[in-house]
Amino acid sequence: MQRFGPQALHNTENVIPLDKALHTRVSELYSAIRRNLTGTGSLTVRKWLITQSYEAQRDFGLRAIENVSKGLW
């Protein structure tokens, strides 16, 4: 099931360049189970985000980049 079209995902507003190290750390966060962020102990952050709206996913992604880069997450 497709929730939003490619135009929502593949546009300059939704692409943020990251250096390799930060990209790796953000990817690790998305692959982890983080009850404190998702409220569930059974889903990875990535799987949990699938259940959220486009806006919520985008907001979370921006917060994740910021918090991972600062070493908070």
Q: What integer is the mean pLDDT of 39-51? A: 97
In a domain, residue 10? The reply is no
In a domain, residue 13? The reply is no
Q: What integer is the mean pLDDT of 12-26? A: 90
pLDDT for res 15: 83
Over 90: is that where the pLDDT of 5 sits?
no
Q: What is the mean pLDDT of the chain?
A: 90
Report the percent of the chain where pLDDT is more than 90: 77
In a domain, residue 9? The reply is no
What separation in angstroms does the CA of 17 have from each of 21, 22, 39, 60? 12, 10, 29, 16
Name the domain count of the chain.
1
Contact (Cβ atoms closer than 8 angstroms) between residue 49 and residue 64? no
52: domain range?
18-69
Over 50: is that where the pLDDT of 1 sits?
no
In a domain, residue 48? The reply is yes
In a domain, residue 28? The reply is yes
Residue-wise pLDDT for 25-37, tens only, equals 999 999 999 999 9
In a domain, residue 1? The reply is no
